[in-house]
Amino acid sequence: MTVVSTTQDTEALSLVIVSELTAPPQRVWQVWADPRQLERWWGPPEWPATVVDHDLRAGGRTSYYMTGPDGSKAHGWWTVVSVDEPRSIAFDDGFADDSGHPAQDMPVTRVEVAFEEIPTGTRMSVTSRFPTLEALEQMVGMGMLEGMTLALGQIDAVLADA
């Protein structure tokens, strides 16, 4: 299994997902650092991501949008908190309005990613923290749920391809 563990904390409202990837940390780093690679996995298949700006430096901003099956766009942004290539990245992930400006009153998720070298490649840990249960509910409710359900259905197809 690629995903080796997930830890949900319903009181602290956090999720840790740990996976083991068969590529060295420097290569895994690129799937986060290179906007063309990032957009190939950030959005679910029915809501592919387009990364407009990507500045992976402390204080840097990323802006992206995801395009739905009906052509509608969901905009998002990151503010990079810290970067230690190829060991860790921390950023805030939030929603944006149609012009790409951070949306007021929308949830912001703090995401911390750690890359650790292991004999078979890289252990990647992604920790997401939500400020409130409401934020978590909004995050999940923002049409991503539908997209994800579709994505899950397509994973088998992707794996059969590979």
Partner 1 sequence: MVVEKLDRRELDDEEVDRLFGALADATRRDIVARVLREEHSVSALARRYEMSFAAVQKHVAVLERAALVHKRRRGREQMVSGDVEAIRAAARYLDAYEAIWRGRVDRIVDLLAQDARPDDPRDAQDEQHD
110 touches partner 1 (CB under 8 A) = no
155 binds partner 1 (CB under 8 A): yes
Can you tell me which of 66, 80, 108, 124 binds partner 1, judged by CB under 8 A? 124
User: 44 with 150: CB under 8 angstroms?
Assistant: yes
Three state DSSP letters for 118-158: ECCEEEEEEEEECCCHHHHHHHHHCCHHHHHHHHHHHHHHH
Q: How far apart are CA 16 and CA 129, in angstroms?
A: 9
| Cβ 145 to partner 1 shortest distance, Å | 6
* 118 binds partner 1, rule: CB under 8 A: no
Binding stretches for partner 1 (CB under 8 A): 2-3, 6, 8, 10-11, 13, 15, 17, 19, 21-23, 27-28, 31, 36-37, 40-42, 44, 124, 126, 128, 132-134, 136-137, 139-140, 144-145, 148-149, 151-153, 155, 158-159, 162
